[in-house]
Structure 1
């Protein structure tokens, strides 16, 4: 029995899917499936029932999975204690993030620094490919970016989902669209747009519209998009978590509206990445916990 097997069965139980678990842990489905099969042979009974509806634990499996979860939690506690004895609580963490994930990430950082004021955190803002390079070349310990930035790059990088976005239109309060409950692509096809310049964002826009649209403003500064929309110069297309707790929404100068009947889109998953063979520091692990907590709170409030 190996620690990695315990991590696999806990993740499969959490997601009810070998495919999703393998995606979250950045390993192949056959590797996860074979590892679980080997463990089941070793202990002499089945841990999961596999069906077309997904994967569910057996009665015996539920007990083993709970124990595996407790073992992994204790291992994390042990590592934390080792770090404390080694006086690494005064460490340094570098976080590289795409602009669209920063509002929630900075909220997590606020709570983190209240708890760990002696750990220095540096924040780098970059587009997705830049965040990936920051992780790849060791300039950052944690990278926040879209899952699609990781395609074909998971041999040396791990990725864990934090949030799965939902497409929204944002319009100014004076826009004739502001009174709409929902919008379709046809409703906005002829509008002028303020758009984010990221390559994956541009790819997503192209997949939504069947013909060219009016790109009035294209920028890598999301504040520029918000300003243009608030002033009714253009409308925007965003993922819902981009707008988390922004004052323009509180003042009703920007109105978010759900976009429905969309064609298939590229992945809207966003999360954190780290180098696969690096050992995360005490501060890095703790900051990840705060990030997970804040993005989870957003997902729950949106559901």
Structure 2
């Protein structure tokens, strides 16, 4: 029995699939299947069985996986005490909302691997309930999701019902993003009336309800729904549209650094609605030592670069 085999069955249990778990370890499905079979042969019983949902642990398999988590976590702590954090090993999957991914993924990977070079960190992105579902089902260890403050109570209730823990990372202003040469660009605050008749870019349709909630009559403005942030920024930079967006989603952005885009306060929106950013993870599984370190680096990376 090897530590790697314990890590293998933990990840298979998380992903409910050998093929998906194999991607985490950068190995082929046959190789991972062989590892599990060898462990089952050594133990003398099956760890997993298959149903419509995928691979699920047997009764004995559940006990093995629970013990495997305790063993791997204890080994992480021992390595940390004996040889420093750089000796920690493991595989972590983290899922980020698109704006968070674009602004912070590169910096997060750099910081994490500088401190934990032997830990494999896999970052993906998703949006809305898809992101929450991946954390709930164990497909990802942790996630960073965002919503506007008018949905805060609803989202907290949903996460509680799904046994998902949540920690607020930060709150940020919702502002009007506008081209630097736009006729309104010289103003510090723009009124809702001034948006009438303008084309408003709505990223993936996420902010339409927020606009209406704050009194923007969307029937008097054209809504352009886009799913690509770079396209959105190019449209705004050409003064063909404006958008309402959190400021932090454009951290280290070339359009802003080159002076093609700017932020303006937007009447009512900036004061009344905020962007809420939360770290989420399952309540049913305790975080390992190195997972807690990942959580700390993640929060520090975002907070440090938004202050």
> TM range, normalised to the smaller chain?
0.5 to 0.7
Displacement after TM superposition at 1:79 (Å): 9.4
Q: Could you say which residue in structure 1 is the equivalent of 2:112?
A: 112
Q: Equivalent residue for 2:264?
A: 257
Instruction: Report deviation, 1:136.
Output: 0.6
**What's the RMSD between the two structures over aligned residues?**
2.6
Tell me the matched-pair count. Answer: 222
In the alignment, structure 1 residue 151 sits paired with structure 2 residue 157 = yes
How much does 1:216 deviate? 4.4
* Partners of 1:221 and 1:151 in 2: CA distance: 30
Q: Please say if 1:168 is aligned against 2:164.
A: no
* Farther off after superposition, 222-231 or 208-217: 208-217
1:101 aligned onto 2:100: yes
Q: Considering only CA atoms, is the larger Rg found in Structure 1 or Structure 2?
A: 2
What residue is the counterpart of 1:128 in the other structure?
128
Distance 2:258 2:306 in 1: 23
- Structure 1 runs of 4+ aligned residues shifted over 4 Å read 85-88, 263-267
Deviations 1:127-164 (A, max 9, x none): 11111001011011111102544433214100001110
Consecutive unaligned residues in structure 2, runs of 5 or more:
1-73
Q: How does 1:132-211 map to 2 (within 5 A)?
A: 132-146=132-146, 148=152, 149-155=155-161, 156-199=163-206, 201-211=207-217
Q: How does 1:32-51 map to 2 (within 5 A)?
A: none
Question: How is 1:62-77 mapped onto 2 (pairs within 5 angstroms)?
Answer: none
Relative distance call for 1:271 and 1:79 in structure 2 (3 A) is farther
Q: TM-score, normalised by structure 1?
A: 0.66
Task: Check whether the contact 1:194–1:236 (CA below 8 A) recurs between aligned residues.
Answer: yes
Does structure 1 residue 89 correspond to structure 2 residue 113? no
SS of 1:117's partner is: coil
Return the offset for 1:194. 1.3
Cα deviation code 1:97-144 (max 9, x no counterpart) = 110111124322221112112111111111111110010110111111
| Residue among 271, 275, 296 paired with 1:289 | 296
The offset of 1:214, in angstroms, is 2.9
Q: Cα–Cα, structure 1 residues 298 and 260, in superposed 2: closer, same or farther, change >3 Å?
A: farther
How far apart in 1 are the matches of 2:289 and 2:223?
46
Q: Which moved more, 1:253-262 or 1:92-101?
A: 253-262
Measured after TM superposition, the shift of residue 267 of structure 1 is 5.8
1:198, distance to aligned residue in structure 2 (A): 4.8
Matched, 1:237 2:244: yes
The aligned residue for residue 270 of structure 1 is 277
Q: Distance in 1 between matches of 2:250 and 2:107?
A: 13
